[in-house]
């Protein structure tokens, strides 16, 4: 659907389809086997409507070859959805007020140091899984979206609306994640739900989808990402001063080199703006991007395992310093 491209950008996400790999890159692992039919209850009229196109004409694994900037929306385009609204942390819902979230253990934690999986908050969960999250380079500054390792992430979800249960739980790209502890029977509360990445050597993104049994339904959608390239907060977006430069920072979760490719105008990877791509020496990309009078567009980031992210490039126009009246 037309909203797919903007959804994919927000994923990166939170959130970008393959890449130009270096000549020395080792062979890419063989694609996964074809996956079984999507697991959802056919007796639910809402499931039959929302998920009617899920799994059709979709490969089981993401190809890492020849990415030209076609965004991967995580299967959003396969869902048949009514109008939805953003609810924070990249989530969407038909009505945000009827879905009550809490991440971490039900009682939270009193510890002064909290892990990404133990913070007690009423905000929707952030499911940004990264195998090498602990190796994220400090010199890049904080990441745009805090990553966690490939361990289970827990949260609770309560449905506080008026439409009748049961509540259906589903994950696009269901072969890449394990979703457990979901709503049982006609319960409207799942006190200890966990999502665990099943993919360890590749990259993927998708959506957790929760909805009431009958159509029309109340719906909530939560993005997840696995081993996608992590942008530094200072590069999301990358604001380049006219005729200046800005540092592009990114990190690869699988220890691969990162290919950066220009898509746009009036900027490049050299002072004369003539260099349109570069490859990092290792898993960290930390390189200047130079701009002309009005830089704009995006940088496509990818690796040889299918990870991808798009960094928007915008023109930074700092306001002039306020003038000071004489004698003040």
Locate the domains of the chain by residue range: 4-24+37-226, 230-315
Let me know: does 288 contact 245? Beta carbons within 8 Å. yes
Select from 100, 104, 86, 101 the least CA-distant residue to 11. Answer: 86
Select from 312, 313, 316 the least CA-distant residue to 243. Answer: 316
Q: Which segments of 147-237 are extended strands (E)?
A: 153-159, 167-171, 177-180, 189-197, 204-212, 219-226, 230-231
Cβ neighbours for 316, distance < 8 A, ≥ 6 positions apart: 239, 240, 241, 242, 244, 246
Let me know: does 303 contact 67? Beta carbons within 8 Å. no
Let me know: does 262 contact 276? Beta carbons within 8 Å. yes
pLDDT digits (tens, 9 = 90+) for 308-322: 999 999 999 754 455
pLDDT at 55: 78
Q: What is the pTM of this model?
A: 0.82
Pairwise CA distance, residues 2 & 71, whole Å? 12
pLDDT digits (tens, 9 = 90+) for 98-154: 999 998 644 333 222 233 344 445 789 999 999 999 999 999 999 999 999 999 999
What CATH topology corresponds to 230-315?
Answer: Immunoglobulin-like (2.60.40)
């Amino acid at each position: 659907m037309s909203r797919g491209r903007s959804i994919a950008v927000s994923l990166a996400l939170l959130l970008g389809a393959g890449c130009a790999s270096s000549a020395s890159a080792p062979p890419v692992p063989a694609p996964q086997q074809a996956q079984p039919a999507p697991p959802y209850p056919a007796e639910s009229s809402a499931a039959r409507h929302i998920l009617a196109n899920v799994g059709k004409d979709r490969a089981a694994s993401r190809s890492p070859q020849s990415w030209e900037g076609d965004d991967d929306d995580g299967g959003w385009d396969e869902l048949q959805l009514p109008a939805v609204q953003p609810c924070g942390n990249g989530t969407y819902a038909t009505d945000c007020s009827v879905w009550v979230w809490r991440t971490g253990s039900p009682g939270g934690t009193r510890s002064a140091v909290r892990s990404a999986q133990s913070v007690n908050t009423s905000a929707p969960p952030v499911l940004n899984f990264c195998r090498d999250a602990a190796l994220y380079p400090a010199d890049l500054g904080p990441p745009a979206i805090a990553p966690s390792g490939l361990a289970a992430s827990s949260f609770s979800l309560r449905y506080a609306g008026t439409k009748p249960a049961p509540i259906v739980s589903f994950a696009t790209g269901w072969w890449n994640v394990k979703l457990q502890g979901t709503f049982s029977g006609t319960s409207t509360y799942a006190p200890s739900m966990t999502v665990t990445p099943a993919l360890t050597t590749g990259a993927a993104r998708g959506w957790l989808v929760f909805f009431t049994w009958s159509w029309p339904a109340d719906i909530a959608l939560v993005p997840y990402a696995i081993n996608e390239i992590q942008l530094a907060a200072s590069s999301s977006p990358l604001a380049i001063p006219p005729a200046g430069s800005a540092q592009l920072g990114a990190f690869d979760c699988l220890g691969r080199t990162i290919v950066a490719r220009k898509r746009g105008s009036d900027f490049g990877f050299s002072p004369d703006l003539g260099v349109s791509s570069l490859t990092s020496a290792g898993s960290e990309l930390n390189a200047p991007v130079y701009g002309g009078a009005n830089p704009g567009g995006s940088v496509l980031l990818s690796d040889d395992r299918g990870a991808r992210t798009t960094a928007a490039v915008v023109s930074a126009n700092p306001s002039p310093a306020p003038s000071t009246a004489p004698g003040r």
